Amino acid sequence: MPQGVDAATFTKALDELAAIVGKEWVFVDELPLSAYRDAYSPLADGEMLPSAAVAPANMEQIQQALKVFNAYKLPIWTFGNGRNFAYGGPAPRQSGYVMFDLKRMNRILEVNEKYGYALVEPGVSYFQLHRHLRKIGSKLWVDPAAPGWGGVMGNALEHGAGYTPYGDHFVMQCGMEVVLADGKVVRTGQGAIEGSQHWQSTKHAAGPHFDGMFTQSNFGIVTKMGIWLMPEPPGYKPFMITYEREEDLAAIFDAVLPLKINQVIPNAAVAVDLLWEVSAKTTRRHYFDGKGPIPDSIRKKIASDHGLGMWNFYAALYGPPPIIENNWKLVEAAMMSIQGAKLHLDRENDPAWDYRVQLMRGEPNMTEFSIMNWIGGGGHINFSPISAPDGKEALSQYNLIKQRCHDFGFDYIGEFLVGWRDMHHILMIMYDRADDGMRKSAYDLFGKLVDEAAGAGFGEYRTHLAFMDQIAKTYKHNDGALWDLHHRLKDVLDPNGILSPGKQGIWPQAMRNQAQSHGRLNKDFKD
């Protein structure tokens, strides 16, 4: 039950919601509600469970439902696809929330071939958009997240990244339709002009730019969003370079930075560690069934068996063949200058190579989930700090985080992704969810990494639900002025505090003091 709501009142509210969306789209039984849990969480199964779920079909039903939620002051948790696994999936921030599931709103409203964009609703997945583009004969590419079942809108709103030159998904967003907590509908940018033909062509309008305010926030419900799509290039050259030493990471990033800033390499280049890369082909127990991190001697055998490096660098070149040929000379000179580097332009019968090649040309797939087989048991949580792509910084981060993983008994499994001027470091903490000790260790490791990252001057760009408060507290310049601003906006736009309370550490007034009494969702780990 939602906190502070009695059973009779809750039943009355659900009856009113059923009259709006249809009785079949209000879920209260255990079996359908089980779909809204975080299947990979470091917390116990009893944590973060909803009290009910409501699935509206359109914006008008959203508006009507919001009247009910406001009247009864019911906290809701809104999502489109709910596929951001490793960050909480569809689960609510706290138990008792009502899930506001937008999966029925899955229309592709427009594809504009001339200007290269699509207009989508929250429930549209990468697979769906990709299939639609192929069906209509479009020459536009989707830029998918690694698991293709994720939502186009949701990933952009959560600052997600892909692997083509259009890999910064929020940058490629253009034009939102947002329903505020009081039911008022706002269109951002040129969408605020009646009859505008340029809503998905330019982000800007007169006055402030509001799109960013609705990313990773609980200030409104985004119901439509434009996304720029990449025209199919006349040429495509994917490549992989393996590097045999862990310390090569510094040289890799020093070499790649000027290539990225000058757009010689236009896509999101990624350096993948050995264990992440090999998980597409084998399992940990095939090589080592002991406790603690895999010994270096076995890591070297894995690399030798599979023709891999300690770091495996992927990128691609795009455009007319003469331009690719010229840019390739620059790439080869820089990236192959590192001792022991080995170039791969094809790898036969290698699912990891096939997976990266598909991603970099805009083909969604699910190969990334093969990493779940590395340990077994399904548990994983991503620690995702962001910083500048400096070689010394990358190596320093790697050495620190690897050591902390080993301190807690985990393998380091990670990758570094380079944008124009940023570096996303994604650590995959893997564990068997059936092992309470491993779950607790993963939880404790994550919390320690958050504190140590903040101490070193860098923060996370997205995070699991359980750590949103702790991470919010690390953004504490000028006595937490940024989060004070977030809360002032929350109080004005959502005075009843019904929209996703606690998302990214933004709480309504009535829940704020309790939430801020500790850094994480749970002060202590709960078995």
Residues tagged active-site: 87, 461-462
Q: Is 12 helix (H, G, I), strand (E, B) or coil?
A: helix
Report the distance separating Cα 4 and Cα 202, nearest Å.
45
381 touches 464 (CB < 8 A): yes
**Dist. CA 365–CA 348, nearest whole Å:** 18
**Cα–Cα distance, 458 to 432 (Å, whole number):** 29
CA pair distance 458, 33, nearest whole angstrom: 37
CA gap 186, 240 in Å, rounded = 45
Which DSSP symbol is given to 391? H
Which residue type sits at 254? D
118, 112 contact by CB (below 8 A): yes
How far apart CA 81 and CA 102 sit, in angstroms, is 7
Query: What's the one-letter identity of residue 384?
Result: S
- Angle between helix 248-261 and helix 321-335 axes, rounded to 10 deg: 150
Q: How far apart are CA 147 and CA 369, in angstroms?
A: 7
Residues, the chain, total?
Answer: 527
Nearest Cα to Cα of residue 444 among 11, 131, 42, 34: 42
Report how far apart, in Å, the C-alpha atoms of 356 and of each of 268, 276, 280, 373 are.
Answer: 11, 12, 11, 18
How far is Cα 168 from Cα 424, in angstroms, rounded to an integer?
Answer: 11
Q: Alpha carbon 9 to chain centroid distance?
A: 36
Other C-beta atoms within 10 Å of 137: how many?
Answer: 7
Other C-beta atoms lying within 10 Å of the C-beta of residue 29:
8
Tokens coding 227: 């996304």
Locate 69 and state its tokens. 């939620």
Tell me the CB-side half-sphere exposure of residue 65, using CA atoms within 13 A.
31
CB neighbourhood size of 306 (10 A): 18
